Amino acid sequence: MRVAGFVEESIVDGPGVRFVVFAQGCPHQCPGCHNPLTWDLEGGKDATIKEIIRMIKKKRKNIRGITLSGGEPFLQAPEMVLLAQKAREIGLDVVTYTGYTYEELQQLDLPGVQELLDASDILVDGPFLIEQRDISLSFRGSINQRVIDLAGTKATGKLVLIA
């Protein structure tokens, strides 16, 4: 997988203390993005799933879950799914960020999209829109972005929001 980097203990990328994987490569390129270095598909570095899982396991005791961020995780959805599944196996929950909206993801023609949604607990969706910036929001930057409870959404058939 192509990654920009990792944060072993984050408190700003989802509830609790979390291990964050920052995917390299992003098509959205939102003005005012926090991590523009993650846009270039050729940037960042390579990391094997095995390596990343080992890093996560090392932090197992200290974290509530993992967060898949970036960049755009859904560009590498099949690999992300493997990380998410392994995390759940060892008792960690999964927060996934995306610059697509939930609705766009339903129509998206990329491999592994539905699998990654099934393997995640929370989805933080939508592009960062600088004109809707609000510094008081938790875990996201602009009001249009939503924190979605995926299990609840799947069960009820309607979008269930946490925030």
Partner 1 sequence: MFTQIRKRDDRIVPFNETQITDAIFKAAKAVGGEDRQTAMELTLDVLNLLKQNFQGKVFSVEDVQDAVEKVLIEKGHAKTAKAYILYREKRSRVREARSELMDAVAEILRETSRDNANVGNSPSAKVLQISEVASKNYYLKRAIPEDEAKAHTEGDIYIHDLSWYGKTMTCLQIPLDRLLKEGFSNGHGYIRPPKGIKTAAALAAIILQSNQNDMHGGQSFAYFDRDMAPFVEMEYRRKAKELRETLEKMGLPVDEDKMMAIVKDRTEEEVFQAMEGLTYNLNTMHSRAGAQVPFSSINFGTDTTWGGRMVSKALLLAFEKGLGKGECPIFPNLIFKIKQDINFEPEDPNYDLFQLSLRVACKRLQPNYSFQDASFNAPYRDVEVAYMGCRTRVIANINGEAVSNGRGNLSFTSINLPRLGIRANGDLTSFWQYLDEAINLTIKQLVSRYDVQKRFKVRDFPFLMGQKLYMDSEDLNSTDTVEKAICHGTLSMGFIGLAECLVALTGKHHGQSQEAQSLGLAIVSYIRRRCDEATKKYKLNFTLLATPAEGLSGKFTQYDVERFGVIPGITDKDWYTNSFHIPVEYDITAMDKIALEGPYHKYCNAGHISYIELPSAPDHNLEAFESIIRAMSEADMGYSAVNFPVDVCRECGFNGIIETDTCPKCNTTGRISRVRRITGYLSTLEMFNESKLAEEKNRRIHMRLQ
Binding site for partner 1 (CB under 8 A): 5-12, 15-18, 22, 59, 61-62, 64, 135, 137-139
Cα dihedral sign, 105-108-111-114: positive
Least CB distance to partner 1 at residue 151 (A): 18
Least CB distance to partner 1 at residue 46 (A): 15
Dist. CA 140–CA 124, nearest whole Å: 8
Least CB distance to partner 1 at residue 22 (A): 7
Q: Is 47 helix (H, G, I), strand (E, B) or coil?
A: coil
Nearer to partner 1, 90 or 155 (CB): 90
Dist. CA 49–CA 30, nearest whole Å: 28
Report the 10 Å Cβ neighbour count for 81: 23
Nearer to partner 1, 85 or 144 (CB): 144
Nearer to partner 1, 63 or 105 (CB): 63
Say which DSSP state 121 is in: S
Say which DSSP state 105 is in: H
Least CB distance to partner 1 at residue 91 (A): 14
| Residue 67 φ then ψ, to 5° | -125, 130
Least CB distance to partner 1 at residue 142 (A): 15
| Bridge partners, 96 (sequence order) | 68, 123
Nearer to partner 1, 7 or 108 (CB): 7
Nearer to partner 1, 64 or 88 (CB): 64
